[in-house]
Structure 1
Amino acid sequence: MSKFTPKLSVLDLSPILAGGSAQHAYHRTLDLARHAEKLGYQRIWLAEHHNMPGIASSATSLLIGYVASGTEKIRVGSGGVMLPNHAPLIIAEQFGTLESIYPGRIDLGLGRASGTDMRATRALRRTLGTSGADFPNLLSELRAYLDRSSETNHLGVRAIPGEGLNIPMWLLGSSDVSAQLAGSLGMPFAFASHFAPDQLLSALDVYRSSFIPSKELKEPYVMVGLTVMVADNMEEAQFLSTSDAQQVLSLLRGRPDELQPPVENMDTLWNPQEKALISKQLDFGIIGDRSTIREKLSAIYEATKANEFIVTTHIYDHQARLRSYEILAETVKEMWPNRNIE
């Protein structure tokens, strides 16, 4: 493990604001990417979701191209592409195209879920009821398309562009299953602790204990996803975080919605059971000020020894969201002054 840890990255879902549009969401995503680039963030990833009124990143590869075209050096990728939704050949070609246009800047993060509900799953023409069981085979097929050697070429079909290109591939997960697969294949592993905190530490143990070095990766590499909403004072951060709490509440109730403006008192919107469930999701989240970052991020790092943190920040006000990423970058630089951000 490099002594210059941890790195910082951005996970964005292009949130659609109440009364806003996808077009505005994309403009804000690009502005965030440019801001993160100036601050020294390692990468920005976009996540595939479907049938979600508050998320505009469904056509993930298209959005990656848009962000890459408007930035200069920050890595841009998927966090992730839900592989069971797609033919592996299509993903190989799409990301081969992206890597050909923006060489050395594209990441391919892959998930085994569908990123949506059963109705949208049916609309995506996926076979229902697989529960990701075919994911290892789909992954193997995708890797074969990107490998130039004829021995691994899939049924004589070639991904043009794609084959032979150096496109870093990551496995994403929220359980031990993806962790074990990533370790056995010698792939970097990103864990979604921002919505599955209870499984984080056990999954990292499984990943590291099952890791077999590969030609791409000689030792385990862990990225941990975190929800972070910080401001110059605790009160403002708590207020801003209520937009995210409202969005999670809408999901919990089965009525996903656009990102709502913050409110003064969430207790008028949720019941005690809902409050407890949503608060539990933030076991590895950070809401507060600079002192909160120092306290909680230090504890998370000691528990996980993560190589990298990828941060999602659902704040309604765009300038406040940019400020949250700025405060985080400044504070982490103070905590780890030798952190390698290149």
Structure 2
Amino acid sequence: MTHTKTFQHIPLSVLDLAPVNEGSTPSDSFKNSVALAQDVEKFGFNRYWLAEHHNMPGIASSATSVIIGHIAEKTNHIRVGAGGVMLPNHATLVIAEQFGTLESLYPGRIDLGLGRAPGSDQATAYALRRTLNMSVEDFPMQVNELQDYFAKDPVSRVKAVPGQGLNIPIWLLGSSDFSARLAAQKGLPFSFASHFAPAYTIPALNLYREQFQPSEYMDKPYAMVGVNVIAADSDEKASYLATSLQQQFLNMRRGKPTKLKPPIENIEAHFSINELEAIKQTLDPRTTIIGSKETVKQGLKNFLEETQADEMIISSQIYHQADRQRSFEIISELMD
């Protein structure tokens, strides 16, 4: 018999895209991220992850390891990490050294989540790598290299200093079945991007759990799922605040990413029927939970029952910093 989990008894974490608001700068974004990280640490959240994206005017976390160090310095005990580093964009040794440095500065607090997507368009991927010879099919080899750099007795003649011998948890992140299979095969924790790939969530989690092979890192599977949550003091206010996320998604779909826009009344007037239908599919109500404390509580409970996740990581693209902080405060009240 499956033991039913409740989200009061599983860790809740934060995924921060370091949003750059319309009318503000990345400098403002980083100040907001520090304030939010300090808040959620007090609220009892488990980890604070930042995601690598490039060439996006509304996302400031491109130099992911740098901002991770900044957040770790301004907090005390919350785990801080990458959700994730897009490994094909980088020389594996550089990531080993960067995260070896972070772990040496903030021991026992650093996570390294790895993705295989570019986190950008082809032109930006080329600008990052200078060549597109590295493909997503090389990702398993890169993960092996990274694990070797962190090993006590690496096989490679090249050593990661700092990095060698450090216990830095490696997570695999995915929005399809590829990383689910790889995480299972390697006995690593797995985080699924259900907040933007809801349809594939259950198949990927089932695959991960069915194929999991115990490893030196873990003896049983550990799955975290991503959820968009926009919480406010009423359903109406939350729906209004959520229009910033919806505009961001639709502008990206149009191929015209923008800074995070302020919320608007009557979003239906601004976008076509097809675009609004796309919102419903990608920002599925199961994984994009918008509402008051009670609405959010029920939404999280339902999704946890469906996924039996070991942890949830919450993204909240909210324009006004006070509203974003209030959203996480409401979620924290549900953890008590």
**Fold conserved between structures, TM > 0.5:** yes
Q: Does the 8 A contact of 2:4 with 2:305 survive in 1? A: no
1:324 aligns with 2:327: yes
| 1:235-290: CA deviation from partner (whole Å, max 9, x where unpaired) | 00000000111100110000000000100110121111111111222221100111
- What are the residue-to-residue correspondences of 1:77-116 with 2, within 5 Å? 77-116=81-120
Contact 2:16 2:51 in 1 (8 A): yes
User: In 1, are the aligned partners of 2:99 and 2:112 still within 8 Å (CA)?
Assistant: yes
Would the aligned equivalents of 2:88 and 2:135 in 1 still touch at CA under 8 Å?
no
Query: Which residue number in structure 1 is paired with residue 234 of structure 2?
Result: 233
The CA distance in 1 between the partners of 2:309 and 2:145, in whole Å, is: 29
| In 1, Cα distance between equivalents of 2:111 and 2:134 | 26
TM-score (norm 2): 0.96
Of all paired residues, the percent bearing the same amino acid is 52
Equivalent of 1:153 in 152, 155, 174: 155
Does residue 224 in structure 1 map to residue 228 in structure 2? no
1:226 alignment partner AA? V
**Which position in structure 2 is the counterpart of 1:244?**
245
Partner of residue 18, structure 2: 14
| Equivalent residue runs for 1:235-274 within 5 Å | 235-274=236-275
Q: Which amino acid aligns with 1:153?
A: V
Q: What SS does the corresponding residue of 1:239 show, helix, strand or coil? A: helix
Task: State the partner residue of 2:308.
Answer: 305
Measured in 2, the distance between the counterparts of 1:225 and 1:322 equals: 18
- Alpha-carbon separation, structure 2, partners of 1:168 and 1:5: 22
**C-alpha separation in 2, matches of 1:126 and 1:159:** 23
Gaps of 5+ in 1: 334-342
Q: Distance in 2 between matches of 1:228 and 1:130?
A: 35
> In the alignment, does 2:148 pair up with 1:144?
yes
How many residue pairs align between the two structures?
Answer: 330
Instruction: Determine if contact 2:231/2:292 at 8 Å carries over to the other structure.
Output: yes
Q: Partner of 1:287 in structure 2?
A: 290
In structure 2, how many angstroms separate the alpha carbons of the residues matched to 1:116 and 1:160?
29
**How far does residue 128 in structure 1 lie from its aligned partner after superposition?**
2.8
Q: Distance in 1 between matches of 2:134 and 2:194?
A: 24
1:133 is aligned to 137
CA gap of 1:285–1:129, structure 2 versus 1, over 3 A, is farther
RMSD (Å) for aligned C-alpha atoms: 1.4
User: Cα distance, 1:329 vs. partner?
Assistant: 1.3
Counterpart contact for 1:85–1:126, Cα < 8 Å: no
> Is the Cα contact below 8 Å between 2:16 and 2:49 reproduced in 1?
yes
What secondary structure, in the 3-state scheme, does the structure 2 residue paired with 1:324 have? helix
Matches within 5 A, 1:186-201: 186-201=187-202
How far is 1:129 from its partner?
Answer: 7.0
Tell me what 1:28 maps to: 32
In structure 1, what is the Cα distance between the partners aligned to 2:216 and 2:141?
20
Between the aligned partners of 1:219 and 1:171, the Cα distance in structure 2 is: 15
Which residue of the partner structure matches residue 318 of structure 2? 315
Once the 2 structures are TM-superposed, how far is the Cα of residue 332 of structure 1 from its aligned partner?
Answer: 3.1
CA distance in 1, matches of 2:277, 2:321: 28
Checking the alignment, whether the CA contact within 8 Å between 1:5 and 1:307 is kept in structure 2 is: no
Cα separation, 1, equivalents of 2:131 and 2:12: 37
SS for the counterpart of 1:148 is: coil
Deviation readout 1:79-109 (Å, 9 max, x if unpaired): 0000000011000000000000000100000
Give the secondary-structure state (helix, strand or coil) at the position aligned to 2:225.
strand
On the 8 A contact 1:84/1:126 being kept in 2, the answer is no
Distance in 1 (CA, whole Å) between partners of 2:9 and 2:149 is 33
Instruction: Give 1:338's aligned residue.
Output: none
Aligned pair in 2 of structure 1 residues 134, 242: CA closer, same or farther (>3 Å)? Answer: same
Partner of 1:175: 176
Cα distance in 2 for partners of 1:43, 1:50 equals 23
1:131–1:280: structure 2 CA closer, same or farther, 3 Å change rule? farther
Instruction: Point out the more displaced range, 122-131 or 165-174.
Output: 122-131
Structure 1 residues 219, 285: CA separation in 2 closer, same or farther (over 3 Å shift)? same
Q: 1:118 aligns with which of 99, 122, 145?
A: 122
Q: 1:187 to 1:70 in 2, by over 3 A?
A: same
Q: State the partner residue of 2:72.
A: 68
